Structure 1
């Protein structure tokens, strides 16, 4: 079954425009999820809002949004007022500039999407722009009203289609300088640096998301399966804590371990050739 598009519109570049469909590039639907139940009856429970002063339940038709301006002081916004403030969408992704692909700091990446021609029919205009971007090794910065907000979107070529990433606004990104300002400028050299380089070289690999394990989700799936089958639930063994007495000794031991591991047959290569399988309960 083909995925359902989350947005349909047009990409516009100067006088050129062509139709596109936007598909979610990531989903959490396959994660283990739980319902909240009444322990006594086993029935599902639902959330309800209560007035913090009267402690009376507040029904949906009596709820209204408010912006706090001071302690317990709010500006009340009616639903129609909020709706009028939402920018009107013309269903158009307007390309404003082409930039070198490495120019965008990944901390600005928000959500991934795939951009493709509607109905899987590759139009000439779509193919020309995609191929031009691929050969010039550039990304496109576009702007559109997506999901009730004006968003900046980064478009990159990938295979026969485009990958789109919505970008965080600058005010949403914390300053790295603020986080790192108290870190001392430490100069590392000599054997210590050589050992670190050696460890990095012996642990070199490839980026392959299929080898990533969601251990928490797998543990939950196994827990549910064990409960269903009436098996004893055994607590996982806790890893032994290691105490680092000397940094140089730790680096030397790490270098030895990395070298030994490098000689072992790689399981990552086997995983590469196998489709990722998710453990399911039941």
Structure 2
């Protein structure tokens, strides 16, 4: 049985309309989480908002949002004024175009959701859209109002359903040119490039998320378990720093081409004659 939907609406493709449900595909709820507590009493702490000038606590009804126009100068916005900027939702996920899956830049990917039919009546239309996209190897670019924000989504066929991934806006993604501007242009060729290609070939495999471990979260869970059981918590020893070696030698070692000492020549046994 599918979990409770985060959003319900309609996937619209021209005159085709299909009731759909959106479900969270990735969640951090299973991670180890902590509360702040008083070291002396063991009681949980509660956050309190304090006026920066008077130092006095501010009640919830007096807490409003403000936009800073200058140093310590704010324009106060009332809740109803902010609500006026929230786009009106018609519960429609409207497909605007189809693009080749190979053309999608995943740098803009934000958060993935599972998209499935919301009821029995929509299953046939949903299957038609999904199968058509799968056959043509395309993804749909759609617009929808999700969680009080207008969002652009990339919708792709996945297993028996669809994956709808919200996209970051262009202004939110930092320039790659700016990030890489000071990387020197180095030409790599010859044996060095061949060794690198050899290492990549020997390390080739298949993408399997099951093999990825959150070592930090696992270590935290072990610390909590040890604390509950009254066991001593062993500090993690820092790894010894590796020796700085020649780049070509590092490539050879990685490729398993380390130089072996030549085998010693065997001397003929005493008294044994050579065949003549």
TM, length-normalised to structure 1: 0.88
Cα distance in 1 between the residues matched to 2:176 and 2:7 = 34
Higher deviation after alignment, 129-138 or 226-235: 226-235
CA contact (8 A) 2:18 2:122 kept: no
- The Cα shift of 1:236 comes to 2.6
Q: Does 1:148 align with 2:156?
A: no
CA contact (8 A) 2:19 2:119 kept: no
- The Cα shift of 1:238 comes to 2.5
CA contact (8 A) 2:133 2:139 kept: yes
Alignment match, 2:158: 158
Q: Go from structure 1 to structure 2 and tell me whether the alpha carbon gap of 1:121 and 1:205 turns closer, same or farther (over 3 Å shift).
A: farther
Cα distance in 2 between the residues matched to 1:107 and 1:57 = 42
Alignment match, 1:77: 77
Q: 1:162 is paired with a residue of what secondary structure?
A: strand
Q: Go from structure 1 to structure 2 and tell me whether the alpha carbon gap of 1:239 and 1:120 turns closer, same or farther (over 3 Å shift).
A: farther
Gaps in structure 1 of 5+ consecutive residues = 259-282
Alignment match, 1:169: 169
Q: Does 1:134 align with 2:122?
A: no
Alignment match, 1:276: none
Cα distance in 1 between the residues matched to 2:236 and 2:50 = 41
Cα distance in 2 between the residues matched to 1:166 and 1:182 = 31
Cα distance in 1 between the residues matched to 2:119 and 2:107 = 33
Q: 1:123 is paired with a residue of what secondary structure?
A: helix
In the TM superposition, what are the counterparts of 1:28-67 in structure 2 within 5 Å? 28-67=28-67
Cα distance in 1 between the residues matched to 2:230 and 2:256 = 44
In the TM superposition, what are the counterparts of 1:105-144 in structure 2 within 5 Å? 105-119=105-119, 123-144=123-144
TM, length-normalised to structure 2: 0.90
Output one character per residue of 1:109-145: Cα deviation in whole Å (capped at 9) or x when no partner. Answer: 0000000011577611111010000000000000000
- The Cα shift of 1:235 comes to 1.8
Cα distance in 2 between the residues matched to 1:12 and 1:56 = 52
Q: 1:152 is paired with a residue of what secondary structure?
A: strand
Structure with bigger helix share is: 1
Instruction: Please identify the structure whose Cα radius of gyration is greater.
Output: 2
Q: Go from structure 1 to structure 2 and tell me whether the alpha carbon gap of 1:13 and 1:2 turns closer, same or farther (over 3 Å shift).
A: closer
- The Cα shift of 1:59 comes to 1.2
Report the aligned-residue RMSD.
1.5
Q: Go from structure 1 to structure 2 and tell me whether the alpha carbon gap of 1:73 and 1:257 turns closer, same or farther (over 3 Å shift).
A: farther
CA contact (8 A) 1:244 1:250 kept: no
Cα distance in 2 between the residues matched to 1:105 and 1:141 = 13
Gaps in structure 2 of 5+ consecutive residues = 259-276
